[in-house]
Structure 1
Amino acid sequence: MDKKYDSCSYKARRTFLGGEFEVRLFEVYDAGIAAVVFQISTEHGSPLKFSRVFSRAELDKAGIAKTLEGHVTLVDSLELIEDAYFTGNDAVGAGQNVLAAYQLSSTLPGISFPPPIVSHQAALAYFARAPVGLSTWNNSRVPEDDNLLVNLIVKGLTELCREKPPGLEAVKWLGNWFLDHNPAQPKVEAEG
């Protein structure tokens, strides 16, 4: 293991999603605590590592002090959660470990939810199933095929190719087309 992880403030072992992990906490001056979680053993590929910095403001809201009890409480609250847009199935489909779609989070009140995973694969997964409009979900919570964002974008770009407006007029034309054909029908006031 890398020597840069030797000077931690607290170490513990935890099980996440059926796998054994080592958790290390690092005090980052007055900024907060960095948590680094290493997968101890893996059946396929190299072990995964998850990390997250919990700000001092978040830790204060959660009642976590720079004490052994605070560190134990923080480690006990840690969990790996699946990303909202990039799921385990998406990770496997992209040739990655299913856990690549998970992020380190905490169940403590006052700790913010982690931001979405930002990657090429996550963007493709999002566009493949993102609904457009306010009521595009059917009873099974699956977006209707004709109301997916990717389909709306394809239709708009197809129409843009048919119209062929010159230069920057193409951007204005496409923006207006999206406003006119958005199932949510947002109200946008044009200036000037």
Structure 2
Amino acid sequence: MARKRVDLRREEIIEAMIEQMRSRGIAETRVVDVAKALDVSTGLIFYHFDTKEALLLAAFPRAMERDLEDLDRIVARRSTAMRRLKALIKLYGPDGDAEGWRLWIDGWGNSLRDDSLAKSIQQIDDRWRTAVRTLIEQGVEAGEFTCADPVATAARITAILDGLAVQKVVRRDTLTKATYDSWVEQLLQAELVAV
């Protein structure tokens, strides 16, 4: 049997780690679980990643990559800033089984004890907040709405969206989609004054 290229094997390990984190949770995922999923030795995993923490730091951002690619596409669209902002907020919120949000919440909890993970999460969060701020600034420039402080407004919007998402994911039956959507609409109306 031919040996896999190092970069392909590394990618397989990262993907297996993501699947294990999603099914077991970050804290409960062990390197041996990743190795078993790939039917390889733990030595091979440690050849590519010195520690579980190093593997986690490669896997967590990768798990969020698809949403970040979608985020970039929304920001780059040719439509009004408000339409793009609403599309971004729809992407931001949990839907279906909220797999990405469950991992995100798990990452927050684990980042309390892992400074490197906290830094990685902060970088991802900053991309979302920057995108919201950018769309607010573009909407103000286009005369769609007014906003005195786009930086603070973006911070408030994303913080409230985080809180709503946690409620929707963790306390599953307490926040309906209709209520969630209504509160998000009220939030935008309160933060962005139509011209």
| Fold match (TM-score > 0.5) | no
Which gives a bigger RCO, structure 1 or 2 (Cα 8 Å, sep 6+)? 2
TM-score after normalising by structure 2: 0.26
Give the helix-richer structure, 1 or 2.
2
